[in-house]
Structure 1
């Protein structure tokens, strides 16, 4: 039987996952209801999926679904996830887990103790580009150093204007939580536990999100240098995860381009490399397949609550929170 999917929070991420669910095999997962307090969100839903109801409350969506996708602002994540667990539903959360780190820690401990079915939407868990990096690593020997870099023309990015009310603020937003967290998750999966050694962050006057960060970490036994800044590029964004190993170097560039260093010093993309706008629907499809498996109690490799908490702890430490 197909897993019934409910969505709480119909901004950019809620819409992306809903579109992926609408395109998915209806025998695997089927969207059944959405909730968002915005009239504009209701209008968009009516255009995208006529007949799919915008229900009156999160509780109504939880009652209608088997698995709840939580794409609301971070301060509401734990409330919605807790309500889903209480109703016996699975929960698929956006990151960060919460706006309050202590609350996130307590939530994860309780969820693990109760055996709640939960995962966090770090799409690199289903990325073909990441799978390619993993395959290349087998022939490269021991890792020696990792560099993570992200640059933005502005923050929030242009396509995030509808969520700028919280993404632009220090309390819940910023590119370290929204973007660099993905690469820290990738690092944790590829290289091992993260330990922060040094950090620095720059903030504007007032309550605005960070404009620059730098950090030095260890992942397993591998030294990591991380940096991010607003204003470092005239593109909407630019990012790179570059691993140097005994017998060569590989990188993930601009989210989805797996590349390997040739002997001539040129990074060459994987033959099946795709730009992120083309790869994203494939990745979200596979995330949803795994969410269906999670909901049914079957094996899958989505990001766990514990992994997301470990990433959030490092992110908040980098920000000095």
Structure 2
């Protein structure tokens, strides 16, 4: 049995906590958050877990830790976890500071550290990957992310940083997942050109557009706020010489058959697929703690995504 601690008990921390409670190889042991109100949320999920007075107390009580704080705290907290000899699963981005992230990735070489890009364990992505040989030569990838408003309705409690230009915005929080997926499937990301539209003041971006390559595959990204009635809509479309496949709205794998999109037989909406995906992440985190190779997102992959994202946001 592995003891899991969580640093930063917001939405992402709560989601992994619920997955740990349901996992036979993990015990949710401790959590720390500077907001004392998080104690009640922890108690509702795992009454036996301890809400710690300090981050250090949570680290000491755990075998592995999920760092799920706002981005500005990730590197300092992640370093504390690794220096204490614990395994680390960080939220993305590594930080909002590219130079600091580059230094951290160099420093952390050889430590048991990974980044929580859940598509590394997504059954829907596994289905997409299984279809890829049918496409023949892959010609392009297109990524679309759109939102009725930003932050999304369920994120309003974290709007103090998610809505800000310094650490927040949908490109860091959402588009990054699909850029990671492009890099994971087709090769290292490189940005060709990108631009962002920002409102007056210090608010997060309202729109982005970019051209990249993942290995040799051209990738386009389009993102916008206020262009859909949905809380959150996204498409990841792979076009090959023999057809097209796509991931829709996080979890629906589809392929183009006779001009119509056909869902995978086991397709499920994201709310139903998420627990399966996070279970896979915890399986891999247990392997990471044992010193085994895993398919979790590496610090290097996360850094490549961050470098592209920050360059897009700077235009």
Q: TM-score, normalised by structure 1?
A: 0.97
Query: Runs of 4 or more off by more than 4 Å in structure 1?
Result: none
Looking at structure 1, the residues matched to 47 and 190 of structure 2 have their Cα atoms a distance apart, in angstroms, of: 48
2:30 to 24, 30, 33: 33
Deviations 1:17-68 (A, max 9, x none): 000000111xx22111000111221121122221211000110011111101
- For 2:205, the equivalent position in structure 1 comes to 210
Say which SS state the counterpart of residue 4 (structure 2) adopts. Answer: strand
Contact 2:17 2:45 (8 Å CA) reproduced: no
Contact 1:74 1:172 (8 Å CA) reproduced: yes
Contact 1:29 1:289 (8 Å CA) reproduced: no
After superposing the two structures, state which structure 1 stretch, 176-185 or 96-105, moved more. 96-105
* TM alignment of 1:91-240, pairs within 5 A: 91-112=88-109, 115-240=110-235
* TM alignment of 1:2-41, pairs within 5 A: 2-25=1-24, 28-41=25-38
After superposing the two structures, state which structure 1 stretch, 292-301 or 236-245, moved more. 292-301
1:278 to 272, 277, 282: 272
* TM alignment of 1:238-277, pairs within 5 A: 238-263=233-258, 265-277=259-271
Say if 2:288 is the partner of 1:291: no
Say which SS state the counterpart of residue 39 (structure 1) adopts. Answer: coil
Give structure 1 stretches of 5+ with no counterpart: none
Looking at structure 2, the residues matched to 37 and 194 of structure 1 have their Cα atoms a distance apart, in angstroms, of: 35
Say which SS state the counterpart of residue 96 (structure 1) adopts. Answer: coil
- For 1:305, the equivalent position in structure 2 comes to 299
Say which SS state the counterpart of residue 239 (structure 2) adopts. Answer: strand
Say which SS state the counterpart of residue 139 (structure 1) adopts. Answer: helix
Looking at structure 1, the residues matched to 294 and 153 of structure 2 have their Cα atoms a distance apart, in angstroms, of: 34
**1:299 Cα offset (Å):** 2.4
- For 2:79, the equivalent position in structure 1 comes to 82
Deviations 1:266-308 (A, max 9, x none): 0101001111000000000110010011011122110000000
Looking at structure 1, the residues matched to 223 and 26 of structure 2 have their Cα atoms a distance apart, in angstroms, of: 37
Q: TM-score, normalised by structure 2?
A: 0.98
Say if 2:60 is the partner of 1:68: no
RMSD: 0.9
Looking at structure 2, the residues matched to 305 and 55 of structure 1 have their Cα atoms a distance apart, in angstroms, of: 27
